[in-house]
Amino acid sequence: MASLGDYLREKRAALLSRRERVDAEHNVQELRATVRAESGSGVRRIRVRDFQLISDSVPALAGYDLGPSSPELALGALGSCLTHIFLAQAALREVPLDAIEVEVRGKTDARAGRPGWEHVPVHPHDVSYTVRISSRAAPEAIDALHREVERVCPILNLLRHPQEISGQVLRRPVSSDRPMTTTSGAGAPPPVET
């Protein structure tokens, strides 16, 4: 059975190779996710490339609890990104890791935004993460690794640094059964109906 150390050696080679290609090509990758509510259930089917995820609400919100809620997915995306960047930076810095686990926690309050509760954020708040690492590396190497992860982790920095997010609503005829694909964001291509 391959170890995490074996994977980190493979990861290092892949990252160094990719770095050379990216430097030569100067490419920008467009990211896209499409979410559609299922008829009759409201379950959100998330499509990213060739992958599907399901997001749902708890029964108290007329959901079926078939998948994590949007705030839970956001925390999961942060945890996944932190884990990946820890692995990538450990590989590049040749910091040995035997195991890594990231736990992300946050709070939501259903009263948020209601009269008398305007001070409570409507978004997940008090977000924190804990990383559990098994490593033979010196504490200083782990501290340096953590600092670099915090500097370059895309989702961590997305959440920490405010930015403009644009949005629009396109209406289509009620009788239309055609699926609609839309995108939103600065510099995004115009929405397309298919």
61: CB partners within 8 A, 6+ apart: none
Q: Residue 141 has what pLDDT?
A: 98
Q: Residue 132 has what pLDDT?
A: 98
Q: Residue 23 has what pLDDT?
A: 75
Q: Residue 92 has what pLDDT?
A: 97
All structural domains of the chain with their residue ranges: 32-67, 69-162
Q: Residue 178 has what pLDDT?
A: 58
- The domain 69-162: what is its CATH number? 3.30.300.20
Helices 70-93 & 4-25, crossing angle to 10 degrees?
90
> What are the residue ranges in the chain where pLDDT is below 50?
183-194
